[in-house]
Structure 1
Amino acid sequence: MTGHELLDARSLMIFLGLSVVLGGATAAAAGRALALNWSPAWLGALYAALIAAAARFLHYALYAEPLLSPAGSMLDLAAALVFLGLGFVFTRRRQMKTHYAAVLARDPAP
């Protein structure tokens, strides 16, 4: 993808459909799974890279977009990292509230 192709309406809709909706849902589920298993957050970067590679392949296979496009790959990776991070943070926050409610209480114990 060149800079001009990134602004194309068709490419934008393809990006939103594949990378944001499909890749984002997959990344959010991966982030949730990482948090539920109490895995380290840095492992999410590896998962996000794999999800971005899969999304880039779908762009290539379904819509004949370049497979090794640096701009497209970075956009796919950024979308995957954002959604994976959101899934991880929201799940981990809920876990912390559930498991450590007494410690996180606003009023100190008498």
Structure 2
Amino acid sequence: MWPDLLIGASVGDFLIVTVLLGGGTAWLTGKAVARGWGPYSHLVLYSLLLAGAVRFCHFALFGDTLASLEPALVEFVLLLAIATLGFRALRRRQMTHQYDWMFEPAGPLAWRARTGGPR
């Protein structure tokens, strides 16, 4: 009963629509914002719109409630987290490849100022 109250759908519906379809779209949205050198605030807005679209898909396909706060908030936070991962992964690649003389990788999602002499 707990997943139904929190996510507003069955676990299978949540995994297919929110995680698989919405999560894939969120990942690509994060990469698209980073590719265009857009600010993170754009990503938050796009994730909010995407969460609304995913909520509508749950409503249209499975008859779930459309305007329920808890499931919408769970979906927004999850989709924003996935979009942030896509954003940071591509932004790290941009910074370390385009500005390789100034930055070096510092993990899978971060970069740091290059230490030592020029490359």
* TM-score where L is the length of structure 1: 0.88
Task: For residues 21-62 of structure 1, give each alpha carbon's deviation from its aligned partner in whole angstroms, at most 9, with x where no partner exists.
Answer: 100111111110000010101111110001000000000000
Could you tell me which residue of structure 1 aligns to residue 93 of structure 2? 94
Percent identical? 37
Comparing both chains, which one has the higher relative contact order based on Cα–Cα distances under 8 Å and sequence gaps of 6 or more? Answer: 1
What are the superposed Cα offsets for residues 46-98 of structure 1, whole Å, 9 maximum, x if unpaired?
Answer: 10001000000000000000001111101110111011101100000000010
How many residue pairs end up in the alignment? Answer: 108
Residue 20 (structure 2) pairs with residue 25 (structure 1): no
Q: Distance in 1 between matches of 2:62 and 2:49?
A: 20
The structure that is strand-richer by fraction is: 2
Matches within 5 A, 1:67-78: 67-78=66-77
Gaps of at least 5 residues in structure 2 are 105-113
TM-score, normalised by the number of residues in structure 2: 0.82
Deviation (angstroms), 1:4: 6.2
Q: Which runs of 5+ in 1 are unaligned?
A: none
